[in-house]
Structure 1
Amino acid sequence: MAAALWSDLKGQVAKMSGTHLRTLLQDQARNDSMFVQSGQIVLDYCRQKVDTETMSKLFELADKAGVEQKKTKMFAGEKINETEGRAVLHPALRAPRDAAISVDGQNVVPEVWKVLDAMKGFSDKVRSGEWKGHTGKALTDVVCIGIGGSYLGVEFVYEALKTCPEAAAAANGRKLRFLANVDPIDVKRALEGLNAETTLVVIISKTFTTAETMLNAKTVKAWLVKELGSEDCVAKHVVACSTALDKTKAFGIDSNNVFGFWDWVGGRFSVWSAVGVLALSLQYGFGTVNQFLEGGHAMDEHFQKASAKENLPLILGLLDVWNGSLLGYEGVAILPYCQALLRFVPHIQQLDMESRALWKSPFR
């Protein structure tokens, strides 16, 4: 039983706590077993305070706790988010067009691709200059208005792609900015140096009622109307990621330029939805963003099919349980050496924080 294994693992704590990491690193066979790879992603966890016996017990714990069964339920669209009564299907957002993933008996992949195709079509028109602003000028600058998951993940990927040669070339002459704080200074910073004639605004709010987002949206709308001299400019300069078509229409947004997402995507994962894809496609082109989606799908496949000892997400999860719940470490440092990942930490912090808030331990 999982409870018995949990108690057994507690017995490993004294042994590992009293063993210096230098001693563990002298065992080359141990070190080699803790070097695993999926595609171009390498995980080397030999500097964790575990030996092969500890890892064997952790893998057994995962087995007895039913991780495989829970994984199957997740990819099958079952409502494993018990707190909110929702499916957890961000993998559907990056699934191939011919995949079949169901929620409540309905394959959601065709609807996902309907939105992806719409975003590709719109972003292609904006980037080519076919879609023009109120005064007939091409739109080269984008301001995204959102908060939390509607901001952190998108900014992380935006920053990460800045130094990718292919993405940088695609973004030449374009700007992407984010407005997430209701502080007027953030509004000023987001709009500084922008020309309303060439600016497109993306409002990200599923219900179109999020207080901070809507206050900023109204502020930027007022700026557009003042600079362009007409309320009619909104339809050409403002689009939305939302499901509240009545509210977006009342705001002045063309319903054809409202891109939806679904309840089975938690906000912290929404970078994979219209929330991330639209803004990033406008900046870098849909082709670059599609590579991002394909990379996510490759890791989904790995998580589904790889054995426990080769499964990167599972190993990282087990080490988190070991360090936090058994060794009692209260914090974890994420230290990206690559400057392009400067916004990775806030994104991961939100993923971790919100996932833990919804997580129920099977062991306690």
Structure 2
Amino acid sequence: MSGNIWSALATQAKQQGSLRQAFADDPSRANRFSVSACDILLDYSKNLIDDTSWALLQDFAQHSPIKTALNSMLAGDKINNTEQRAVGHMLLRKADLSSVSLDNGLAIGKCEVSAEIIACKEQMANLVSQLHAGDYLGFNGQVITDVIWIGIGGSLLGPQMAVEALTPYHCSPVQVHFVGNIDPVVVTDTLAQLKPATTLVCVASKSFSTEETIQNALLVRQWFTDHGADTAAINQHFWAATSNLSAAAEFGIPAQHILPLWDWVGGRFSIWSAIGLPVAIMIGNDNFTQLLAGGEAMDQHFVQTPFTDNMPVILALLGIWYINGFGCQTQAILPYSHYLRLLPSYVQQLDMESNGKSIKADGHSVSYATAPVIWGDAGTNGQHAYHQLLHQSSLIVPADFILAITPQHQHKEQHQRLAAHCFAQTQALMQGKTFTEAYQECLAEGMDSEQAAALAVHKVSAGNKPSNTLLLPTLSPYYLGSLIALYEHKIFCQGILWQINSFDQWGVELGKQLSKPILQALQGDTNQALDSSTQGLIQHFMQRYTLNMQR
């Protein structure tokens, strides 16, 4: 594909017609623009595409290096070129590791990687079994009843989302509590509910230096000390998921309590690793295996299916179509499931941290937009909030509607109502409401022609607003695994098409670096060179803080 693809997309976007008319002209449109993978149906017929634009997008994919990059990832090449790391999260959900060929530059060959992954899974499974059986005892012999999971970003969002999503599969006598934000009220509010003697703590940080995670871990460790726990007791109650064994040991976590992480697994892709331990605790080992199996099934679909029917590729192309053809800047993730209400936040990090870049992998600047702003909430709550903007604003906001066909409850009519709302929103976004329809509606309500005309103009919805609908058979561990992997692969494809590295996140580092001199200034060091705004904010903060603390 030539370098003129971006202008070609923009030109073609201007020629798209009415979706309402497209459905009227082609009764088979929904069948032509639908695909299934892992028993998940994707209906993408309500998108602003026709045969010409879709052929252009498919040609873009066919002439792209997606397949080459995928093969490089599977071969263990260091496709994360800025950090000189392989990308191997797909290995973690493989049931058969005999074909693993990862070489991450640390003299770890296929046999060693397979052995390490298997050993980690066994270590996790043994811990889960002990906790479920009540065999894991605290420092005074009491059974562990609660686990505090301390992490942030990819070490928190994935397991927290999955634990919430799979609530009907909870089978654990142990409750998991998530702590992420450095705001100390998160820790203190959590600890207020618990007892040290019956609480296990897991510190999740690949580097074991993430400030928020370590500071929260220190507060929790102090809580143990304040309640009379000695070093041996703390050793009994603390675990870690990390690749920095020495730092974890220095913190006081024994080697046998350290679950390994590897530099070839990025945080936002790590739910399949030891970062998934909270999920395994809450849903059990067998169900966690099903989560991995669902992810692997989507992997197989992605690797084996031609691009014309490849669900991740299709979603990737549609996203690029709206960002680079229509100039859209946001995308809504709208799960019609209360249990999936954290999915938008999870996809937000997965997408924006991966592809929110302005530099290509080769170091040159991009001349086009990349990742969208991801947002959303569970339906039907959003219908009474931001759906007004989706329907009647001048903005085009592509949206993914996600619904499980079979619910985890027996309230058939309520679930039918939920489904009706989901399908109605996609239909309304597609077809809108014309002035004539609104006018006739007002007349039918008893208004005279003048009243009807005055009100009808406010009831008009332009329609032609795009959406995808994803139907899952049910919200089970298997299908959740497939759904997560689907979004992972979509984001990978878009990164390749944009020629960026989806697996680093250097932009995250700047704020962390700048926080250090600011903290020193807040602690009384007046020698920090700061801009006038930051200096003023610090002075105002310290004046009020000191005054308020003295009261």
Within 5 A, what are the aligned runs for 1:244-255? 244-255=244-255
Structure 2 partner of 1:142: 147
Structure 1 partner of 2:217: 217
Pairwise CA distance, 1:191: 1.8
CA contact (8 A) 2:66 2:497 kept: no
1:249, 1:330 → 2: CA distance? 45
Pairwise CA distance, 1:228: 4.1
1:2, 1:75 → 2: CA distance? 27
CA contact (8 A) 2:10 2:324 kept: no
> Which of residues 117, 134, 145 in structure 1 aligns to 2:122?
117
Structure 2 partner of 1:352: 351
* Cα deviation code 1:163-204 (max 9, x no counterpart): 2xxx22x12x32111110111211122223112111110100
Structure 1 partner of 2:54: 55
1:110, 1:72 → 2: CA distance? 23
Structure 2 partner of 1:241: 241
Q: What is the SS of the residue equivalent to 2:234?
A: helix
1:5, 1:330 → 2: CA distance? 19
The higher radius of gyration belongs to: 2
Letter in 2 for 1:283: M
Q: What is the SS of the residue equivalent to 2:330?
A: coil
Q: Which moved more, 1:193-202 or 1:104-113?
A: 104-113
Q: Which has the higher contact order (CA 8 A, sep 6+)?
A: 1
2:242, 2:158 → 1: CA distance? 17
Structure 2 partner of 1:184: 184
- Cα distance 1:256–1:310, how it changes in 2: closer, same or farther (>3 A)? same
Letter in 2 for 1:341: L
1:285, 1:299 → 2: CA distance? 22
Scaled by the length of structure 1, the TM-score of the pair is 0.93
Q: What is the SS of the residue equivalent to 1:127?
A: helix
Unaligned runs of 5+ in 2: 361-495, 500-551
Pairwise CA distance, 1:362: 5.2
Q: What is the SS of the residue equivalent to 1:3?
A: coil
Pairwise CA distance, 1:284: 2.1
RMSD of Structure 2 on Structure 1 (CA): 1.8
CA contact (8 A) 1:144 1:202 kept: yes
Structure 1 partner of 2:92: 93
Pairwise CA distance, 1:160: 0.4
Q: Please say if 1:36 is aligned against 2:35.
A: yes
Within 5 A, what are the aligned runs for 1:72-87? 72-87=71-86
Structure 2 partner of 1:337: 336
Identity of aligned residues (%): 35
Within 5 A, what are the aligned runs for 1:166-177? 167-168=169-170, 170-171=171-172, 173-177=173-177
* Cα deviation code 1:43-95 (max 9, x no counterpart): 11111111122112111101111211121112111122223222222101101
* Cα deviation code 1:298-327 (max 9, x no counterpart): 101110001112111111111111011111
Letter in 2 for 1:131: Y
Structure 2 partner of 1:106: 109
Pairwise CA distance, 1:225: 2.1
CA contact (8 A) 2:243 2:263 kept: no
1:337, 1:237 → 2: CA distance? 39
Letter in 2 for 1:106: G
Pairwise CA distance, 1:13: 1.2
2:498, 2:123 → 1: CA distance? 45
Q: What is the SS of the residue equivalent to 2:49?
A: coil
Pairwise CA distance, 1:134: 0.4
Between Structure 1 and Structure 2, how many residues are aligned? 356
CA contact (8 A) 2:12 2:325 kept: no
1:150, 1:363 → 2: CA distance? 27
Structure 1 partner of 2:196: 196
Q: Please say if 1:127 is aligned against 2:125.
A: no
Pairwise CA distance, 1:24: 2.2
2:136, 2:263 → 1: CA distance? 31
CA contact (8 A) 1:81 1:87 kept: yes
